[in-house]
């Protein structure tokens, strides 16, 4: 390579490598997805929001990702689910979810479902840390946003080590 080409290549490499920390922190979110069928409740109806954040071990991540996609594909058919969204770092190991339920029984039925239990059994080995928050909101507060979900987690999330 001529010296000027080498200099341009070196400059590009330095710029790209310098940007990697920012790209690693970039996230991609699935849009808010409302899955309600039929008539929605009143604006004052109370709904239950569950928000999670996990940091994954990259060497054990494949089963977690596989089961996340399987569960995601079945979400729209969950009885009592109002809306949901997924979020992840582009190049990192952090993942988030939020789900909005009509009631605690619907949420519990989903978490106890065979598909969710299989996903947790297969993918939980990848989870290094987990934070979660549950709260009630009124239907009038929909659509729910990722900025609100992250604010809730940062204010007072419960943490656990799997």
Q: Identify the pLDDT of residue 5.
A: 52
Provide mean pLDDT across the span 42-71.
Answer: 93
Beta strand 158-160 pairing with 27-29: unpaired
Confidence of residue 162 (pLDDT cuts 50, 70, 90): very low
Give me the long-range contacts of 1-4 (CB less than 8 A, separation at least 24). none
pLDDT digits (tens, 9 = 90+) for 107-122: 999 999 988 899 888 8
Provide mean pLDDT across the span 66-70.
Answer: 90
Task: List b or e across 11-46, with b for residues whose CB sees 16 or more CB atoms inside 10 angstroms.
Answer: eeeeeeeeeeeeeeeeeeeeeeeeeeeeeeeeeeee
pLDDT digits (tens, 9 = 90+) for 19-49: 545 445 688 888 888 988 766 788 999 999 9
Q: Identify the pLDDT of residue 27.
A: 82
Which residue shows structure tokens 């494949």?
A: 62
The CA distance from 132 to 111, in Å, is 14
Q: Which pTM value belongs to this model?
A: 0.80
Give the DSSP H or E segment for 56.
strand 46-56
pLDDT digits (tens, 9 = 90+) for 74-106: 998 999 999 999 999 988 899 999 999 999 999
Structure-block tokens of residue 30: 């699935």
């Amino acid at each position: 390579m001529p010296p000027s080409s080498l200099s341009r290549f070196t400059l590009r490499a330095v710029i790209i490598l310098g940007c990697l920390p920012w790209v690693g922190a970039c996230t991609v979110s699935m849009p808010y997805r409302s899955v309600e069928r039929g008539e929605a409740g009143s604006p004052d109806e109370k709904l239950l929001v569950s928000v999670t954040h996990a940091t994954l071990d990259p060497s054990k991540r494949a089963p977690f990702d596989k089961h996340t996609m399987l569960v995601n594909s079945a979400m729209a058919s969950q009885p009592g689910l109002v809306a949901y969204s997924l979020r992840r770092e582009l190049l990192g190991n952090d993942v988030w979810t939020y789900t909005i339920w009509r009631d605690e029984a619907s949420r519990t039925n989903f978490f106890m479902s065979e598909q969710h239990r299989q996903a947790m059994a297969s993918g939980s080995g990848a989870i290094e840390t987990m934070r979660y928050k549950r709260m009630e909101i009124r239907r009038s507060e929909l659509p729910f946003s990722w900025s609100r979900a992250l604010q809730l987690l940062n204010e007072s999330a419960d943490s656990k080590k799997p």
